[in-house]
Structure 1
Amino acid sequence: MATVGRTGASPRLLGFVEVLFVATPPFWTGIILLSIFSFGLQWFPAFGSTGPVSLVLPTIALALPIAGVLAQIMRNQLLSVERSAFALTARARGLTERSVFWHHTMRHAVLPTVTMSAWTLGTLIGGAVLVEQVFSRPGLGRVLVDAVKGHDTPVVTAVVTISAVVFVIANTAADLTAPLVDPRLRRVREASV
């Protein structure tokens, strides 16, 4: 496993793809996916909810921008962690690059990605509204928009409460996962108790 670098064609191409995913709005990605995979290749249904297969394109449209952000965070963390003192010490002890990557570098680099993945869950509601419109799918985004248009305060409150509960659960899961990824956090938590 080679070290992650900034030079060469592959890292530049990956960086471009990450920025492209982040910069492209989910509804635009949805339109492109519809054009290629529904209208062109006819692999997926274009509209409505016709079972699990109709969820594939909307899920991809919502996931690509988040995947781009998380990939950027992960790559930047890998770059900074691979130059840290403990990684250099592990290499000096004779560990292979693969061993340093999987046992040292990856463990430290994945922690911010786990934290950010929980945080980005909150952005899904905003993107879901437009993606649901593009794919003509019923969903929480459409329910929220209709409730706001109709001044239906109980429905708006319910959708916002559900979103807040999901956000809290995701962040709690990320906080509970962090000590499993990085044992140093377990020791800090045990010392504070």
Structure 2
Amino acid sequence: MIHVAAGLVLRAVVVLTGTALLTFALLWNAPGDPALAIALARYNAVVPTEVLDLVRAEAGLDAGFFPAFTAWVTPLLMGDFGQSTVTGRDVWPDMVAAISYTVPLALAALIVGLVVSVPLALLATRRLGGWLDRGAVAIASIGVAIPAFWLGLLLILLFAVQLGWLPAMGARTSAHMILPAMTLGLGVAASLTRILRSGILEAREQPFLPALRRRGVGHRDIERHHVAPHAALPFVTVLGLELAFLLEGLVVVEVIFARPGLASFLVSAIGARDFPKVQAAVLVTAVVFVVVNLLIDLAYRALDPRIGGPDA
């Protein structure tokens, strides 16, 4: 177990280090003058060369790539994300404010996905090839094919414009979260429904199940103790990945619904070449991916102790 934990920690360190270095390199080598982008975002006006030189020195752009990267990453190791090169404020409080809008929306979308996908998959597998099964497959296929931005616009037209039931823009009340959560959650539900349906059907074809039935094991016990754990393995994998990739979908959804959050935080930071803010947003996203993968590994071992065991 200690060996497994050490391997997971080492993998996390490698991923986070590579992410930080790659992101910094992409920003550093992006077209255009980063000092000019920072100055325009800071002063909102064309600035003389002297000011550009001052901005370049303040941001460490004249020190070279590796000295600038070292100057940024050294305080980060002690939990200091630095100050914004545009506003001069600490990055972490602004990041926390953005995350406070993004995380509840991501969790709400995941709940929508689970509430829709699990009953739909269970109903579909009750009678293979029946109208419920065909309907579930059709709904899941359409849900996967529809882009999030188009689904979001359709929901705005229906529930906000035509019916007037829900607000479309902003994040002032909990009602403002319903349409964005539905936009993200229905896409998640489509993927989870397909995976869970396939997992249940595959589990029911396992060769040891007829032997259990001949021994008198009831259908409910077989479904609960043998089919469900087998079907849960791929479902847990996709569920974890969907939670991580929700951050990607949030970029589009937060723009469509004019919500503050991590997406607008990152987009504005990229436009202004605000290196500390971009790096902070990317690293937080990378940490989410690493933590999600760690939880997936632990869930796998809980569902099937043979995974990662000494004989694996």
TM-score (structure 1 length as normaliser): 0.88
Alignment match, 1:75: 197
Name the CA distance, whole Å, in 1 between partners of 2:157 and 2:221.
44
AA in 2 matched with 1:124: L
Report the Cα offset of residue 5 of structure 1. 4.8
* Pair 1:160-2:270 in alignment: no
Name the CA distance, whole Å, in 2 between partners of 1:5 and 1:145.
47
Alignment match, 1:140: 262
Name the CA distance, whole Å, in 2 between partners of 1:38 and 1:96.
49
Instruction: Classify the secondary structure of the residue corresponding to 2:167.
Output: coil
Alignment match, 1:59: 181
Name the CA distance, whole Å, in 2 between partners of 1:7 and 1:97.
20
AA in 2 matched with 1:78: I
* Pair 1:35-2:142 in alignment: no
Instruction: Classify the secondary structure of the residue corresponding to 2:260.
Output: coil
Name the CA distance, whole Å, in 1 between partners of 2:300 and 2:162.
43
User: Which range moved further: 51-60 or 133-142?
Assistant: 51-60
Report the Cα offset of residue 126 of structure 1. 2.4
Instruction: Classify the secondary structure of the residue corresponding to 2:129.
Output: coil
Name the CA distance, whole Å, in 1 between partners of 2:303 and 2:255.
38
Name the CA distance, whole Å, in 1 between partners of 2:140 and 2:252.
22
User: Out of 95, 102, 116, which is 2:224 matched to?
Assistant: 102
Alignment match, 2:36: none
Aligned length: 190
Name the CA distance, whole Å, in 1 between partners of 2:152 and 2:294.
30
List structure 1 runs of 4+ shifted beyond 6 angstroms.
none
Q: Give the greater-gyration-radius structure (CA).
A: 2
Quote the sequence identity (%).
Answer: 36
AA in 2 matched with 1:130: V
Instruction: Classify the secondary structure of the residue corresponding to 1:122.
Output: helix
Instruction: Classify the secondary structure of the residue corresponding to 2:208.
Output: helix
Alignment match, 1:8: 130
Q: Is the 8 A contact 2:156 2:179 kept in 1?
A: yes
Q: Deviations over 1:49-91 (max 9, x none)?
A: 1122211211121122122112111111111110101222222
Alignment match, 1:172: 294
Name the CA distance, whole Å, in 2 between partners of 1:82 and 1:161.
42
TM-score (structure 2 length as normaliser): 0.56
Q: Is the 8 A contact 2:169 2:258 kept in 1?
A: yes
Instruction: Classify the secondary structure of the residue corresponding to 1:162.
Output: helix
User: Which range moved further: 155-164 or 140-149?
Assistant: 140-149
* Pair 1:49-2:185 in alignment: no
User: Which range moved further: 88-97 or 46-55?
Assistant: 88-97
Name the CA distance, whole Å, in 1 between partners of 2:245 and 2:219.
36
Could you say what the CA RMSD is over the residues aligned between the two structures, in angstroms? 2.2
Q: Is the 8 A contact 1:70 1:113 kept in 2?
A: yes
